[in-house]
Structure 1
Amino acid sequence: MDITGRTIFIPGATSGIGRALAIALAERGNTVIVGGRRRELIDDLRSSHPGIDGVEIDTSDAASIERAAAEVLERHPGLDVLVTMAGIMNAEDWTSPVGFVDSAERTVTTNLMGPIRLIGAFIEHLLTRPAATIMTVSSGLAFAPLAATPSYNATKAAIHMLSESLRLQYAGSPVEIVELVPPAVQTDLMPGHADNPQAQPLDEFVDEVMAILERDADVREVLVERVKFLRHGEARGDYADVVRTLNSSDPHAGRRGAR
């Protein structure tokens, strides 16, 4: 993925990893458009970083995605990168019938249908570009489960396999698929994440991601060092130990692989 001179849309970029990634990409001379549900957060980011544009979008709403896509393409017809960043993460108790189905539906709608609909809204345009990139965002939890977040784990595993499948379908086309696989990062994705000492500091994570992208323009999976513990457990043959460590009684260890 070339990260110079691109026009990049990142929905879910008004906070956390998306926001930090948007700023880092803009600082490298790219045209960056952020998307989010809250206009005040978009305006705050645009005012603090005048080169960044923004649109309102709710990635859990199909109509909102269509409206935002039309707005982005009207204002930025040179768009050649889509980063499907938006996601939610909820703790769920599947031993009780109360609540987990609603949570699971919200998680699937946002984390899986959101990226699918985003790709559907932009793919016709991206296929017309000389070179284009779709960056999906999975998680270390796509490869080893955190007991507290079944639906999140499942959607991120689905995003990984979707990325693998689309890479096959788009072979020979101008569109490349790059999968970003975060470990636990200090953001507000879940209560306690931002203060979790076992999670990777946000700036450190984004710096490492940018270094990988600058070093390897052909990278397929963006894997910072901290996520390799989860990503390669099965290949190393220590998957059971990885799952045990991830879900240990240590309150911080259970979040090592969560984004």
Structure 2
Amino acid sequence: MDITNKTILITGGGSGIGYEIARLLSEQGNKIIIVGRTADKLKQAAASLKNTFAIPCDINSEQDVNKLAELITSSYPDLSVLINNAGKAFVYTHSETAGAVEKARQEMETNYFSLIRLTEKLLPVLKNRDEAAIVNVTSIVAFSPVAIIPTYSDSKAAVHSYTLALRHTLAQDTNIKVYELMPPTVNTEFSKEIGGEQRGMPASEVAQGLIEGIQQDQYEIGIGLTIGFRNQFFINEQDAFQVINQR
């Protein structure tokens, strides 16, 4: 798929992977819309990029998402790429005092339910384009969980499943291609608690890998360690689980 001269919306675009994706795509003649909860942070990010616009929006708020969808429909009807990148994670291990239910509820709301809501709201706009795409950002943990981010892993596995079904369905009668970006640990503020600064790959490399994957119509875009780990998982699930949890 050609990923130039398009209007692209990126959730969580004010920092980390989302910001690097916005930066690279803005340099390729695209119009970029970055979405996030913190208005000042978002405006600062947009000001540092070419042809980039900031729209504050809490994707967990149905009211905010409805307003966003209305704005996109009226002001950016040429939207052709949606990148669902925003995420939330808690670092903890399961125990009787972990509070896993509340943590899982927040992670699933941000990482899964809100992604589905926004995608559904923007489908009518995307369907009007001759060439369109949806990118769902999951993780290496979509295949096998990491025990210190257990319910975050669950949420990414759910998005992986959703992405497979969405891709199959939209391929029947639309021009919308559905991609999945699967990074390993990345050096961002988001992953600092799980060692991202020490062993995470640069967010810029993840962004570059996404662009190359889309250009090659690679629907499941594994980055770095995810490629080998995915293969190992399908050979021996238990061995893969042990490997990822030793890291």
Deviation at 1:129, TM superposition (A): 1.6
Q: Work out whether residues 46 and 52 of structure 1, in 8 Å CA contact, stay in contact via their aligned partners in 2.
A: yes
Deviation at 1:135, TM superposition (A): 0.7
| Matched AA of 2:240 | V
Q: Work out whether residues 93 and 147 of structure 2, in 8 Å CA contact, stay in contact via their aligned partners in 1.
A: no
| Higher mean displacement: 174-183 or 45-54 | 45-54
Deviation at 1:74, TM superposition (A): 2.2
Deviation by residue 1:134-176 (Cα, 9 ceiling, x = unmatched): 1111111010110111211111111111111011111231111
Partner of 1:86, secondary structure, is coil
Does residue 57 in structure 1 map to residue 57 in structure 2? yes
**Aligned match of 2:119:** 119
**Mapped partners of 2:228, 2:96: distance in 1:** 31
What aligned pairs does 1:58-77 form with structure 2 within 5 A after superposition? 58-77=58-77
Deviation at 1:97, TM superposition (A): 4.3
What aligned pairs does 1:227-246 form with structure 2 within 5 A after superposition? 227-235=226-234, 237-246=235-244
**Mapped partners of 1:126, 1:105: distance in 2:** 29
- When residues 135 and 49 of structure 1 are mapped into structure 2, their CA distance, relative to the original with a 3 A threshold, is same
Deviation at 1:29, TM superposition (A): 0.7
Q: Work out whether residues 142 and 153 of structure 1, in 8 Å CA contact, stay in contact via their aligned partners in 2.
A: yes
**Aligned match of 1:129:** 129
**Aligned match of 1:257:** none
Deviation at 1:197, TM superposition (A): 2.4
Q: Work out whether residues 186 and 201 of structure 1, in 8 Å CA contact, stay in contact via their aligned partners in 2.
A: yes
**Mapped partners of 1:77, 1:194: distance in 2:** 41
| Matched AA of 1:220 | Y
Q: Work out whether residues 213 and 219 of structure 2, in 8 Å CA contact, stay in contact via their aligned partners in 1.
A: no
Deviation at 1:193, TM superposition (A): 5.1
**Aligned match of 2:197:** 196
| Matched AA of 2:191 | M
**Aligned match of 2:91:** 91
| Matched AA of 2:220 | E
**Aligned match of 1:23:** 23
| Matched AA of 1:240 | Q
Count of residues paired in the alignment: 246
**Mapped partners of 1:161, 1:66: distance in 2:** 25
**Mapped partners of 1:183, 1:98: distance in 2:** 25
**Mapped partners of 2:99, 2:193: distance in 1:** 21
**Mapped partners of 2:42, 2:195: distance in 1:** 21
**Mapped partners of 1:137, 1:204: distance in 2:** 14
TM-score, normalised relative to structure 1: 0.89
- Is the helix fraction higher in 1 or 2? 2
Deviation by residue 1:94-145 (Cα, 9 ceiling, x = unmatched): 3214522111110110000111011111011211221211111111101011
**Mapped partners of 2:162, 2:140: distance in 1:** 15
**Aligned match of 1:247:** 245
TM-score, normalised relative to structure 2: 0.93
**Mapped partners of 1:245, 1:194: distance in 2:** 16
Q: Work out whether residues 135 and 177 of structure 1, in 8 Å CA contact, stay in contact via their aligned partners in 2.
A: yes
